[in-house]
Amino acid sequence: MYSKDGEDYFVVDAHVHMWDGSDENQLNIHGAEFIECFYDYHRNLSPEEYVWEFRKYQKYTEQNFMTDVFENGYADHAIFNPAALPAFYKNGFSRDLAQDMARRSPDRLTYNHNFDPRNGEAGLRHLEDAAREFGLKGVKVYTAEWHGDSRGFKMSDRETYRYLEKCQELGIKNIHVHKGPTIKPLDRDSFDVADIDYCATDFPDLNFIVEHVGLPRLEDFCWIATQETNVYGGLAVAIPFIHTRPRYWAQIIGELLYWIGEDKILFGSDYALWQPKWLVEKFVDFQIPEDMQGEYGQITVSQKKKILGLNAAALYPHIEVPEHLRLDFVPTTAEPVGALIK
Amino acid sequence: MNSTATRFRAIEDRAWKALSAVTDPELDESLTTLGFVGTVEASDEFLTATLRLPTAFCSPNFAFMMAADSADALRAEFPEMSTRVVLEGNADSERINSAVAAGVGFTDAYPVEAAGDLEDLRAVFRSKAHLASLDRLISKLVSTHAVLPELLPTIRLVDVPEMHEREALLRRRNDLGISIDDNAFVLVNADGSRWDINDLAVQIRFAKATRISIEGNAHFCSGLLRTRYDEPPPGH
């Protein structure tokens, strides 16, 4: 929970990682390039005092995570959205440790698994096992991931649909789709969000959370999200602009509020890409610059509360929001002490 | 400086100028403005330009387009010289460089992985660039020339005063083959058809979102480039 100016904010960090980009885990040069690229994002958009040494960034500890996300980062709950990247890392990019951590702290951590439709039947069985093992409520999908000669797939592919049907059957309701800065997409425009339009229409019972709000295809994402009631936007990667380019950030959040609305935007730090502490603090302090308010209006406290945690809690009902942190909470007027002593 | 060095220097300057006309199709900005041109070096026989991108993972498709367009620009400017474009530090540099040097297309460079050539993708980004330039122009008309938004659909190119945004729009229209006649309407789609006026507010808003999206991407790329190569913004 974060408190500022008499307001309490329930915080769900809907996008965190426990990764291993260490030299030992790299399968090939792409593993090195990938973590270096991540590090550049980290260095480029973080306030200086939050920049880590590269070695630590490659592989941080559970203690680092717990301190940064929960103690310093104000999160009441955090959701792992693991990236597998088996083509780049020996044991995968996401550490199995994330699964153990979620098992040990189910009240604070949710583990989403991932799937790759190109794994066919075997992948479907694996998804069933994982759903049973982890009680999956959500899953992460990375459409630009490499797989043999293939450099990506679409959410509208027939094979993907079989997996989405399986998700429906297994009660995995939240499908987090990475649409944003990506690893080496090829001729197809892997940022393209058009495929979301199809799967969101065909699977009305599932929620599609478009991570990174489709940046750099924000306009296409907004357009689709307004047509579909079950499409959400995850702010990971977009929100760090709040520090380096606050006026640009104002336009992003202003457009999102206009197009998809305050109920469909989810906060995520993408830890360890960025430290949640400064993101949460700056977001709560943020206001649309005055000269832009004619266009976008002001962002309200209740909008911030929804974005920072309440919207994610609505998608993941096992995350309990204490009564006093809900928006409809009306504090009962305390009886004067005298009235109690009868 | 001796005369040979002066001559080489003059060739290099011309090469920079030629490369400044090449744009990143996705960001709709000049490669030289973005800082994507690393070095240009002339010698008696060769003219070599190096390109560098913000990450090793910059999409091979866009990297390929930029390298091929740069190679074309140098060949056109220096038909008498042997010119070379070298893309540095991309995960697929080798493959892209040999394809560009051989003058073959993208599908030849990626026979297995590529599902199609790049023209469709180019068309998508030309159309986005047009929409973004339209937003810049109409925002200017509304904010500084007091044009009422509801009147925008009736405005023709001849009605628009000379300004940078007008030039930029004409350039994008040219790229798409849309009429630039004085009598042509300003608010048109990428295929030249007029906007549906029943949907005006949403379309204006969409143009704006498109512009913001492209600019944001450019912020990302130029920021990452500086971080990667550890240097101040281009032009400094």
B110/B139 same-domain check: no
Q: In which region does residue B169 sit, left (phi positive, over 0), alpha (psi from -120 to 50) or beta (all else)? A: alpha
The whole-angstrom separation of Cα B109 and Cα B64 is: 9
Question: Which of B117, B134, B208, B220 to mutate to test binding with chain A, by most A CBs within 10 Å of its CB?
Answer: B220
Q: Does B61 lie at the interface with A, CB-CB under 8 angstroms?
A: yes
Across the interface, do B57 and A251 touch by the CB < 8 Å criterion?
no
Across the interface, do B57 and A29 touch by the CB < 8 Å criterion?
no
Burial of A164 (0-12, 13-18, 19+ CB in 10 A): buried
Question: Which pLDDT score is estimated for A186?
Answer: 45
- Choose the final residue of a domain: B92, B115, B138: B115
Question: How many residues appear in chain B?
Answer: 236
Count CA atoms closer than 13 A to A311's CA, side-chain side: 26
Cβ B141 vs Cβ B161: under 8 Å: no
**CATH number of the domain within which B29 lies:** 3.30.300.130
The first and second tokens of residue A135, run together, are 């009680």
Across the interface, do B205 and A258 touch by the CB < 8 Å criterion?
yes
DSSP letter, residue B111: T
B63/B8 same-domain check: yes
Residue-wise pLDDT for B80-135, tens only, equals: 999 999 999 887 888 889 888 888 888 778 776 666 667 877 888 889 889 999 99
The whole-angstrom separation of Cα A183 and Cα A33 is: 10
- Choose the final residue of a domain: B63, B96, B115: B115
Residue B231: inside a domain, yes or no?
no
Residue B234: inside a domain, yes or no?
no
ipTM: 0.76
B110/B157 same-domain check: no
CB pairs under 8 A between A and B: 106
Cβ A32 vs Cβ A15: under 8 Å: no
- Interface of chain A toward chain B, CB-CB under 8 angstroms: 29-30, 33-34, 36-37, 40-41, 43-45, 149-151, 181-190, 215-220, 222-223, 241, 244-245, 248, 251-252, 255, 258-259
Instruction: Determine the 3-state secondary structure of A24 from DSSP.
Output: helix
B87/B129 same-domain check: no
Cβ B69 vs Cβ B107: under 8 Å: no
Question: Which pLDDT score is estimated for A149?
Answer: 80
Residue B140: inside a domain, yes or no?
yes
Residue indicated by tokens 């999200």: A225
B140/chain A closest Cα distance in angstroms: 14
Neighbours of B187 (CB within 10 A): 20
Question: Which pLDDT score is estimated for A318?
Answer: 97
The first and second tokens of residue A188, run together, are 């197809």
B110/B211 same-domain check: no
Among B205, B216, B227, the residue with its CB nearest the CB of A218 is B216
B89/B182 same-domain check: no
The first and second tokens of residue A308, run together, are 């920072």
B10/B35 same-domain check: yes
Residues contacting residue A333 through CB under 8 Å, at least 6 positions apart: none
B177/B126 same-domain check: yes
Among A30, A150, A219, the residue with its CB nearest the CB of B209 is A219
- Domain of B124 in residue numbering reads as 119-226
Residue-wise pLDDT for B201-216, tens only, equals: 999 999 999 998 888 8
B151/B99 same-domain check: no
Instruction: Determine the 3-state secondary structure of A272 from DSSP.
Output: coil
Residue B200: inside a domain, yes or no?
yes
B136/B108 same-domain check: no
Cβ B179 vs Cβ B192: under 8 Å: yes
Residues contacting residue B13 through CB under 8 Å, at least 6 positions apart: none
Domain count, chain B: 2
Question: Which pLDDT score is estimated for B235?
Answer: 41
Residue B236: inside a domain, yes or no?
no
* pLDDT value at B41 more than 70: yes
Question: Which pLDDT score is estimated for A335?
Answer: 52
Most confident of A20-29, B24-33, B209-218, B221-230: A20-29
Question: Which of A37, A40, A179, A187 to mutate to test binding with chain B, by most B CBs within 10 Å of its CB?
Answer: A187
Question: Which pLDDT score is estimated for A333?
Answer: 58
B81/B103 same-domain check: yes
Strands A113-114 and B37-42: unpaired
Cβ A218 vs Cβ A255: under 8 Å: yes
B217/B129 same-domain check: yes
Across the interface, do B26 and A216 touch by the CB < 8 Å criterion?
yes
What global pTM score does this model have?
Answer: 0.85
For chain A, list the strands marked E by DSSP: 2-4, 7-9, 12-16, 77-80, 109-111, 113-114, 138-142, 174-178, 207-211, 231-234, 265-266
Question: Which pLDDT score is estimated for B236?
Answer: 36
Q: What mean pLDDT is predicted for residues B146-150? A: 91
Given CA atoms B173, B177, B182, B183 in this order, what sign does their dihedral have?
A: negative
Across the interface, do A30 and B61 touch by the CB < 8 Å criterion?
no
Q: In which region does residue A91 sit, left (phi positive, over 0), alpha (psi from -120 to 50) or beta (all else)? A: alpha
The whole-angstrom separation of Cα A177 and Cα A153 is: 12
Among A34, A181, A188, the residue with its CB nearest the CB of B220 is A181
Cβ A62 vs Cβ A71: under 8 Å: no
Among A45, A149, A248, the residue with its CB nearest the CB of B112 is A149
Q: What mean pLDDT is predicted for residues B217-230? A: 81
- Choose the final residue of a domain: B93, B115, B137: B115
Across the interface, do B213 and A189 touch by the CB < 8 Å criterion?
no
Question: Which pLDDT score is estimated for A189?
Answer: 60
Among B114, B210, B220, the residue with its CB nearest the CB of A187 is B114
Among B114, B209, B223, the residue with its CB nearest the CB of A244 is B223
The residues in B 72-91 lying below 8 A from A, measured between CB atoms, are 91
Residue B235: inside a domain, yes or no?
no
Residue-wise pLDDT for B44-90, tens only, equals: 889 999 999 888 777 778 888 889 889 999 999 999 999 999 999 88
For chain B, list the strands marked E by DSSP: 23-24, 29-30, 37-42, 46-52, 82-88
With beta carbons under 8 A apart, name residues in chain B contacting A188: 115-116
Question: How many residues appear in chain A?
Answer: 342
Neighbours of A292 (CB within 10 A): 14
Per-run averaged pLDDT (10 residues), chain A, 342 residues: 97 98 95 90 94 98 98 98 93 96 97 96 97 96 85 91 98 92 54 90 97 86 92 94 92 95 97 98 98 93 98 97 90 54 44
Question: Which pLDDT score is estimated for B89?
Answer: 86
Residue B51: inside a domain, yes or no?
yes
Backbone φ and ψ of B46, nearest 5°: -120, 150
Residue B232: inside a domain, yes or no?
no
- Minimal CA–CA distance to B33: which of B49, B17, B50? B17
Among B55, B209, B227, the residue with its CB nearest the CB of A218 is B209
B82/chain A closest Cα distance in angstroms: 29
